[in-house]
Chains A and B, each alone.
Chain A
Amino acid sequence: MLLEVKNLYKSYQLGQNKISILQGVDLSVAEGEFISIMGTSGSGKSTLLHILGGLDTPDKGVYTFSTKNMLSLSDTERSWIRAHWIGFVFQTFDLLPELDVVGNVSLPFLYNRADSEQSVEQVERAIEKVGLTHRRLHRPLELSGGEMQRVAIARALAVQPKLILADEPTGNLDSKNSQIILNLFQELHLAGTTIIMVTHDEKVAAISERTLHMNDGWLQ
């Protein structure tokens, strides 16, 4: 198993009310799997994804990623894991507007101990993979939504991560661009990358091997 989650609880304090988001989530993902998690908005899909990426911590539970007990690691160690093993793709693309495509895709290498010659090569290969070599020196504002999301995917896969976490990657795209993005995920999956994708769209979820549903803080 690449990652294993057991009995995960997470709640937020909203004013006087305590809102329970995750109520005992169990999940295990094998290496190379392509999983999609479906659920209505506010069901806790994104929170789960953030915990899996080490950006957030649960109140209770067990989370093992690549034999490491993620919940006992320090913030710095979790950052290290993100920089080397995990790639994020967000709904809103989240590129840095002042950097061009190459700059954005190189971003993880700034925080990663990879040697710079090799990383330049990896960046170029990732940009080529998403088919944006001709746009490599453009800034995000000069790109279309679909192209921006492809840059974000290139950024996520450039470090050759063990896991890609995608949060509604097609949420802001039209159907044509969505298809391009999904095809890319499909390709990555075939190449052996483990992918966990959050979506509320049945059609999008259909391309994954396994679809899980988030209901009332439970994963089914």
Chain B
Amino acid sequence: MTGGYNKMIHQALSFFVTAYRSLLIHKFRSFLSVLGIVCGVMAVMVMISTGEGAKREVLGRIERMGLKNIYIHDKLLSVELQEQAEKKKSYGLSLFDVESLRSLSPAIVQVGAVQNAALTPVGTGIGITPTILKCTGNYGELLGLKIKSGRFINEQDSYNNHQVCVVGGTLAKRLGREGRVGKTIRINDLLYTIVGVLKKDDKELSKTAKVKSQNFNDTIFLPLNIPHNLTKFGSSIERYSMLSSVVVEIDVRENVKPVARLIHRAMELSHRKVLDYDVIVPLELLAQALAAQKTFNLVLAVIAAVSLLVGGIGIMNIMLATVTERKREIGIRRAVGATRKDIACQFLAESFLLTMCGGGIGIVSGFACVLVIEYLAGWPIEITAASMIIPFVLACVAGVFFGYYPAVKAAKMDPIKALRTV
């Protein structure tokens, strides 16, 4: 039995050797005939890689926002809308919102807020203008900021209006000695003691709509002062104290959607239907991004199918020509004992080998293409195993699929007619 098995392997091997030899006889023709497959594989690989890269980037950004967080950003209004808003007594995002959100649902773990303070430090002489943000004590935890040394601003700092600050990684480095814990930074007329330094974040800044990725490398955090007796009605000052954004943390992911709905309704009520805020739910963005990815994948599949179809037809064409050209060889092989199946297998091996080589060349050139794109266009690229294996396998399948008809045609050829061909 093993002898028969060995014989089969030997036979399959010799089919491939024969195929290889006959492809080598027409090197240039073989190359031209697989060009379609090469381009198809290359295109599919480039598309998968760029798609995967873009997906990773977007997902990464969304995940960094925290999938259990809901953000409410302040929105700048046009002059007309501003008048309307004032008539309705809605004054943008305020500490009052923070306070009312906190008790909105038991699923809300904590609420943080940040205010973009239009301040600049004095006399640092470092050439960059840092962003100064005033934040609540839980902000660092909410955004998952990493501390290199010291601590983040805490609740006590907020409530007691301590004059402390936390500096971003790049900024601290630029400040050198002056950027360490215990040193002070002067902002306007006040001196703030550095209590913490953030780890440098090497994620690039990106300003894609909605999904802004933030890094705080050039930021100075100050405590956002929260008065002790914030009442339900609040004084007009509290109402006016404009926040740039509020972060709400939800206990579990399942609660994110219902709470988001709740927040929408509560905000609509308290702001009297004036849309001077944006509610952003990273979990929903993630779902959207994944849905968009699905559409992209579908488009990709269609393009892949079309390009491989075109490539495959090229293979079929050349294989049909080969079969006609090698009628005599088919006749000789039949005369010495080849069955129809043997002949079919031989031609199938040939088209398979052809597309396999095409797939290989396609992957190598796709790899080069991807690197060039990454270098020239600066797109995020992710070369995964799937981006190489999928088009390669598809190419091989196309070889067998489109080689099938010519192979059957060769097999069905009448040996007598084949032998009479000159």
Contact = CB atoms under 8 A, between A and B. Distances in A.
Nearest to B411: A75
B251 interface: no
A110 B4 CA distance: 13
A44 B339 CA distance: 25
Interface range, B side: 20 to 34
A79 interface: yes
Interface string B14-55: 100000011001000000000000000000000000000000
B386 to A, nearest CB: 38
Contacts of B3: 115
A56 B335 CA distance: 11
B337 A111 contact: yes
A109 to B, nearest CB: 9
B136 to A, nearest CB: 81
Q: Which of B4, B22, B342 lies at the interface centre, i.e. has the most chain A CB atoms within 10 A of its CB?
A: B342
B14 A75 contact: no
Interface stretch (B183-191, B258-266, B325-333): B325-333
B336 A155 contact: yes
Contact of B336 (A107, A113, A116): A107
B7 interface: yes
Contact of B419 (A75, A94, A107, A111): A94
Given A56-B416, A82-B335, A88-B336, A110 B14 contact: yes
B415 interface: yes
A94 B332 contact: yes
B180 interface: no
B200 interface: no
B340 A111 contact: no
A146 interface: no
Contacts of A55: 334-335, 415-416, 419
Interface residues of A, number: 26
A169 interface: no
Interface of A: 50, 53, 55-56, 75-76, 79-80, 82-84, 88, 90, 94-96, 98, 107-108, 110-113, 115-116, 155
A80 B416 contact: no
A82 B336 contact: yes
A108 B338 CA distance: 8
A54 to B, nearest CB: 9
Contact of A112 (B14, B334, B337, B415): B337
B4 A79 contact: no
B11 interface: yes
A144 B10 CA distance: 32
Contacts of B21: 98
Interface in B336-353: 336-342
Given A83-B337, A90-B335, A110-B14, 12 more contacts: A55-B335, A76-B339, A79-B337, A79-B342, A82-B335, A88-B336, A94-B335, A108-B337, A111-B338, A116-B6, A116-B7, A116-B10
Contact of A88 (B4, B7, B335): B335
**Which 8 residue pairs spanning A and B have beta carbons closest together?**
A83-B337, A111-B337, A79-B339, A82-B337, A108-B336, A111-B338, A88-B335, A55-B415
B312 to A, nearest CB: 26
Contacts of B334: 55, 79, 82
A76 B340 contact: yes
Contacts of B338: 79, 83, 110-111
A111 B342 contact: yes
Contacts of B333: 107, 111
Contacts of B416: 50, 55-56
B76 to A, nearest CB: 77
A102 to B, nearest CB: 13
Contacts of A80: 337, 339
Contacts of A76: 339-341
Nearest to B337: A83
B337 A90 contact: no
A84 B337 contact: yes
B7 A90 contact: no
Contacts of B22: 98
A113 B4 contact: yes
Nearest to B326: A96
Contacts of A111: 333, 336-339, 342
A98 B325 CA distance: 14
Contacts of B415: 55-56
Nearest to A112: B337
A113 B7 contact: yes
A155 to B, nearest CB: 7
A80 B332 CA distance: 15
A85 to B, nearest CB: 9
A66 to B, nearest CB: 15
A96 B332 CA distance: 8
Contacts of A83: 336-338
A56 B331 CA distance: 12
Nearest to A56: B416
